Structure 1
Amino acid sequence: MDSKQLADQVAKACDDKRAEDIVIMDMKNVSLIADYFLICQGTNERQVQAIAREVKDFAQEEEIEVKRLEGFDQARWVLVDLGDVVCHIFHRDERQYYNLEKLWGDAPQLEVKL
């Protein structure tokens, strides 16, 4: 599975838990951190944790290493690092504050196919 396919599959995992406003950003020509950022939000802490758990479970089923999982207990901004794809799961109240889409504004946003 290439990194674009992984990003698409992670988007589906997020959508399975009713994540809102899913965005995939192509970071290849912008940052060395990852090929893609996936950004989404949940409406409350439980949903944010459920989305993160679904992404982690998907990765484990596909034998993809979860390099880091941060922020799970607070569930305000959970980062799931899958190497070439980094998934940012925000609580709705935090997403506008951090505004990663603007911070990484040079990165093109891709169509999310669910």
Structure 2
Amino acid sequence: MNEQQLLTVTARAADDKKAEDIIVLNMQGVSPVADYFLICHGNSDKQVQAIAREMKEKAHEHGFHVKRIEGFDEAKWILVDLGDVIAHVFHKEERSYYNLERLWGDVPREDITEALSQ
């Protein structure tokens, strides 16, 4: 499996748990940490945790390894490190505060609408 498949699995997992405003930043050549950042948010602590949990479970089902998950108990900003893809699952208020999209505003976005519609 490749990073595009991992990205699709991760985005679909977020979408399955009704994550809002899912975007993907193409970090290739920009970040030594990962090729893609997936950013989304939920509207409650429980939803944020459910999104991160679903990402972990779906990754495992498809044979991907989750390196680590940080911030799960606090459920304000959960980082799911999948290697080539790092998912940032925010609580709505935290997302607007940290505004990673603006921080990485010059990084190209990936269109995931086709992946989510399948």
Q: TM-score scaled to structure 2, two decimals? A: 0.93
Separation in structure 2 between the aligned mates of residue 60 and residue 7 of structure 1, nearest angstrom = 13
Give identity over the alignment, percent.
Answer: 58
**What SS does the aligned partner of 1:105 have?**
coil
Please say if residues 52 and 89 of structure 1, whose CA atoms lie closer than 8 Å, have aligned partners that are also in contact. Answer: yes
User: Is 2:51 the partner of 1:41?
Assistant: no
Matched to 2:59, the amino acid is A
Matched to 2:81, the amino acid is D
Alignment size in residue pairs: 114
What is aligned with 1:104? 104
Give structure 1 regions of 4+ aligned residues with deviation exceeding 6 angstroms: none
Please say if residues 20 and 40 of structure 1, whose CA atoms lie closer than 8 Å, have aligned partners that are also in contact. Answer: yes
What is aligned with 2:61? 61
Please say if residues 30 and 106 of structure 1, whose CA atoms lie closer than 8 Å, have aligned partners that are also in contact. Answer: no
Please say if residues 29 and 107 of structure 1, whose CA atoms lie closer than 8 Å, have aligned partners that are also in contact. Answer: no
CA displacement, residues 27-61 of structure 1 (integer Å, 9 cap, x when unaligned)? 00211110100000000000000000000101111
Please say if residues 6 and 59 of structure 2, whose CA atoms lie closer than 8 Å, have aligned partners that are also in contact. Answer: no
What is aligned with 1:19? 19
**What SS does the aligned partner of 1:69 have?**
strand
Q: TM-score scaled to structure 1, two decimals? A: 0.96
Q: Which runs of 5+ in 1 are unaligned?
A: none
**What SS does the aligned partner of 2:73 have?**
coil
